[in-house]
Chain A
């Protein structure tokens, strides 16, 4: 077995053992609070079609919000990096976007957009946009001053300076922001589903499913939705990490062998 896989697998086994030990230690009347992995699996397979649909729905919402945030963040950071004046004028309002509590946005969204997928995508967008725009902007401004001088002396056009210097220099920052957003997007989609989702037309995501499980006190199924949400997060982060590796491993110090 490879050296890279062994440590996380061992950790996983330890967590599983601790879980089982805790379950055993609980008094019989409390055991329902922490069902065994076996019972969680059973509950998941009982509700497999429902969970699969909910997972697909939440994954779509997360991906939609994430892609929208990534695209807008790239455009916006190019704007922010273009001049000090633009930054001074716009940065405070970018921050506001992150500071407005989703709990308060939610009812407004329901009024304006109505419950459903578009609102959930907007919540996901709001949650994952900020780290990306901040990182991208920082990255675009991070090019080494000597390299900027070199390009100036080489009579680089603003376009060349952007594409051949500032954008590549920003890539490590871009992927760092993307990775944070990849963690936040599934959480955003879940929260969004919970707050501004809808059950009509079988459009339930994992957030609504979790809510239903909890009102019915179906604890093993509740655990199943939580684990699926984690798996979704891992899938997002894993994909971004793979893309980051492909773009950076040859030259960036964060991938020193």
Chain B
């Protein structure tokens, strides 16, 4: 049994005196898992990712991320909901921005950058500035930037939430294709059940007040997954089932 990528034991997070945002989270992620986090707004999904990345410390409990406390690994990459690009740099500059922070030599930077650009199919736009790109292209740049770190753990916080459905579907397929080449473990926050079912090997449903995991659903569809999957009965049934479980924890549906 390989050692887990992520191990959380009784993790609690509160901000100031407010009631805990996350309470008693136990969670283990094995290498290669693609875990979607889904739940009502404000239930602590982003906070969980920030805990994993070391951006914020837990109030109680222990986290182990890639064999170390959070924030100590350099094999973790984070993709924000907004593309979060540096507007004064072109695509090339943005994609290699994190490598620059690590002071990697130019040749190594160029090699990783070219590979990442190829993976997200943006090689032709290397000289464009962010404002010249569409929403989907900007998100691809953001993803490419994360991939240059050659991560073992990829955290994505609603990365495609602002995109239209067509673009989102395409990016989902691309993301799985990249995963097949690179084999990172992923935590993926989304509001879209369909997206979660398509991408994930496992879906965690979170309930609010306090944030906690209320369902842990395995998604066993074989890889590679293509657009065909979206039209199978098994897929549609699973989407319906996860939606039903999610509705049970959505505040607006909890009481009739």
Contact = CB atoms under 8 A, between A and B. Distances in A.
B211 to A, nearest CB: 20
Interface residues of B, number: 22
B87 A146 contact: no
B122 to A, nearest CB: 17
A252 B87 contact: yes
Contacts of A169: 88
Interface stretch (B97-105, B160-168, B171-179, B248-256): B97-105
Dominant secondary structure at the A interface: helix
B247 interface: no
Interface in B39-84: 53-55, 71, 74, 76, 78, 80, 82, 84
A171 B82 contact: no
A155 interface: yes
Nearest to A161: B101
B78 A150 contact: yes
B97 A251 contact: no
B170 interface: no
Given A153-B55, A251-B129, A144 B101 contact: no
Pick the most buried of A147, A153, A155, A165: most chain B CB atoms within 10 A of its CB. A153
Contacts of A155: 74, 101-102
A251 B131 contact: yes
Contacts of A154: 97-98, 101-102
Given A155-B101, A164-B100, A150 B80 contact: yes
Contact of B88 (A144, A251, A256): A251
A253 to B, nearest CB: 6
A251 B87 CA distance: 6
A148 to B, nearest CB: 10
A255 to B, nearest CB: 10
Nearest to A248: B88
B125 to A, nearest CB: 14
Nearest to A145: B84
B157 to A, nearest CB: 10
A171 B88 contact: yes
Contacts of A153: 53-55, 71, 76, 78
Interface in B83-135: 84, 86-89, 97-98, 100-102, 129-131
Interface string B20-55: 000000000000000000000000000000000111
A145 to B, nearest CB: 10
B82 A146 contact: yes
A4 interface: no
Contacts of B131: 251, 253, 256
Nearest to A157: B101
Contacts of B97: 154, 164
Nearest to B53: A153
Contacts of B55: 149, 152-153
A40 to B, nearest CB: 45
A250 B86 contact: no
A156 interface: yes
A208 to B, nearest CB: 44
Contacts of A147: 84, 86
A76 interface: no
Nearest to B157: A146
A168 interface: yes
Contacts of A250: 88, 129
A160 interface: yes
A256 B74 CA distance: 38
19 contacts: A146-B80, A152-B55, A153-B53, A153-B54, A153-B71, A153-B76, A153-B78, A154-B101, A154-B102, A156-B101, A164-B97, A164-B100, A164-B101, A171-B88, A250-B129, A251-B131, A252-B87, A252-B88, A256-B131
Interface of A: 144, 146-147, 149-156, 160, 164-165, 168-169, 171, 250-253, 256
Given A154-B98, A165-B86, 8 more contacts: A147-B84, A152-B55, A153-B53, A153-B54, A153-B71, A251-B129, A251-B131, A256-B131
Instruction: Pick the 6 closest A-B CB pairs, nearest first.
Output: A154-B101, A146-B84, A168-B88, A251-B88, A251-B129, A154-B98
